[in-house]
Structure formats: C-alpha cells, structure tokens
Amino acid sequence: MKLKIRRSNNEDLNKIYELHIKCFNLGDQWYKNYIIQYLKTSFVIENDETQELFGVLLQGPIIAFNSDEEFEPINKNGHIFKEQKLYLKPIQGIAMLCIHPDFRNKGLASKLIELHLKENKNELICLQTRKSNPAFNLYKKYGYEHIITIKEKYYSPTEDSYFMILSN
C-alpha cells in the first residue's frame, strides 16, 4: 500500500469526520462545521489507490480563549501570554491531529507536524491537547511548551487540557 500526503479539500469533510470518530470515539454533528473552516489549509494522509484516509492535521488560525478567566498560566511564558492578551488574537496552530489507530507509531504524525512547522516558519504557533494524550511527548519533542492548563476542558471523559505554544 502506498500512502501519500496531500492538501485537504472540501470533498474530504466526511472522511475526516469519520476518522475523527474512529480516533477519539466522539461524534458530534456540530464538529463538521469546525472541520470545514480548516479544510483549505490542512493535510491528509491517504491510501493512493483507495483514497482511504489514515491521518489528518487540521491547521489554521485559532483563538485560544475568549477570556483570561478561563485559564491559569503555569509558567513565565504562560504569564506573558496572558499579560499580552495573546489568547484573544488568532494564532496559527494545530486544530486537530489524528492518525488511524492501525497506523499509529509509524512516523505519520511526525510527517504531518513537520509539514505544519515548515508552513508556519517564524511564527508563534499553538495547539491544545488532552492531558492524557500520548502525542503530548511528541509535541514536546518538536519544541512545544506547555504554558497553560485548562481545568476540565474535555468531556467523555472529563479531563484537563494542556495549551502549548512554539516560537517556530
């Protein structure tokens, strides 16, 4: 099987949504509207013959928070982020990264992150992840710094979120 990475497009919406459900065991129809806003700037990994998707990285502008009451910084960079109100400005970031469970630990997430970093050179970039996400260590490997913890951000199960930044 030959895999290829390509830019996502509008025709990928349902496949990305299905992959999201497979990866995170969550499915809300409203999430399709979230995916749509990132389709033109994102990447997918697909089987070159069948066009089945095995990975996706949604990227684009993210507004971190609506209010500084939503989070508490955990370090100096988190305090700077809060003081300068960077959380109210759109920041390029990873909105979602998921790899089909059967294709994890094969370097596919790294390939997508490297494309993201290449496209966003010389920018402050961000992401948010579950505290328990095994990819947390992968993000740290690429230089992302955990600056803020958001209590009980996620549900099913309820869990804290780590907000991470990288000055690329």
Angle at 8 between CA 5 and CA 12, to 5 degrees: 115
Alpha-carbon span 111 to 5, nearest angstrom: 9
Report helix, strand or coil for 144. Answer: coil
Residue type, 95: A
| pLDDT at position 109 | 97
What are 95-117's pLDDT values in tens digits?
A: 999 999 999 999 999 999 999 99
What are 2-18's pLDDT values in tens digits?
A: 999 999 999 999 999 99
Asked which of 30-34, 67-71, 149-153 is least confident by mean pLDDT, the reply is: 67-71
Decide: 45 and 111 in contact? Cβ < 8 Å: yes
Residue type, 32: K
Is the pLDDT confidence value at 47 over 70? yes
Q: How many CB atoms lie within 10 A of CB 45?
A: 22
Paired with 159 in beta bridges are 154
- Name the residue ranges covered by the structural domains of the chain: 3-167
Q: Does domain 3-167 have CATH number 3.40.630.30?
A: yes
Percent pLDDT > 70 in the chain is 96
Q: pTM to 2 decimals?
A: 0.91
Element (H, E) at 15: helix 13-24
Q: Nearest-CA neighbor of 2 among 39, 58, 52, 42?
A: 52
- Cα torsion 112, 136, 153, 145: sign: negative
Six-digit token string for 13: 């919406």
